Structure 1
């Protein structure tokens, strides 16, 4: 395996580890822990059914409003369909999410962009519906 291929494999494993930590945090109703996977910056972009949200704080506020209790948050599972490099230190991830909830399940798809910032993989853009 070439050095480039080894780096891509390591990058993908690190990105998947971030997403696994997000699944765990969300399922424990720890929205701040879930948001640890996102870039804590005003330039973070989230695009969903209610339009474009800019910034980490506003994204967290939207999650807290939309998922106010453990029953609303439920248990999160991701299914990853593709992780591909965009450029050096950035990848897109495409997949689906599944929320198993007592108030009714919710499922959808996403495309997120990870960027390596200060040595850590962070989501800089998220489109989910």
Structure 2
């Protein structure tokens, strides 16, 4: 009898959860406030759109071989966190020095293309970004693909990347 009650109880819990799922999945407040592959995006003034535009300005700066412009997207603080395929860099100054040393010949920076950008607003002044990208770099040009996850915060009037994690591979 005890086993039968337990089974009925678990079935009721499962049915209750399952019946609530469609309401959660189709709520008016989507998990992702912005997805670059979606034809309908938020208006230009929305926070999610502003975060997306920050990322696109960073991509444009990279493609112009403008390390300073690329770095403008990052929080200029010793508390900036940057992880790239196991390399850990802490602080804006260290990250900037790393880019200057790594690309003393800026023509080797190559071409970066954002394949997809998704923005999730965590708070009115904080967003989580998923970025899928391709890059052609080096001589001869080799293709690198990767994903980045970013935490972006509104600091004053500007949005800045405060934490970044990138994983890449050469196909």
Q: Same fold (TM over 0.5)?
A: yes
- Give the equivalent residue in structure 2 for 1:58: 94
Deviation by residue 1:6-30 (Cα, 9 ceiling, x = unmatched): xx64111111111111111111111
TM-score, length-scaled by structure 2: 0.66
- Deviates most, 82-91 or 112-121: 82-91
Indicate whether 1:49 and 2:85 are aligned: yes
- Give the equivalent residue in structure 2 for 1:111: 149
Task: Answer 1 or 2: higher relative contact order, Cα 8 Å, separation at least 6.
Answer: 1
The structure with the largest strand share of the pair is: 1
Superposed displacement of residue 50, structure 1? 4.0
Moved over 3 A (4+): none
8 Å Cα contact 1:76-1:98 kept in structure 2: yes
Q: 1:89 aligns with which of 104, 125, 142?
A: 125
Superposition RMSD on alpha carbons, in Å?
1.9
Q: What SS does the aligned partner of 1:79 have?
A: strand
Aligned pairs for 1:33-48 within 5 A: 33-48=69-84
8 Å Cα contact 1:29-1:69 kept in structure 2: no
8 Å Cα contact 1:99-1:107 kept in structure 2: yes
8 Å Cα contact 2:52-2:119 kept in structure 1: no
Distance 1:46 1:116 in 2: 18
Q: Structure 2 regions of 5+ residues with no counterpart?
A: 1-28, 34-41
Q: Structure 1 regions of 5+ residues with no counterpart?
A: none
Q: Which has the larger radius of gyration?
A: 2
TM-score, length-scaled by structure 1: 0.85
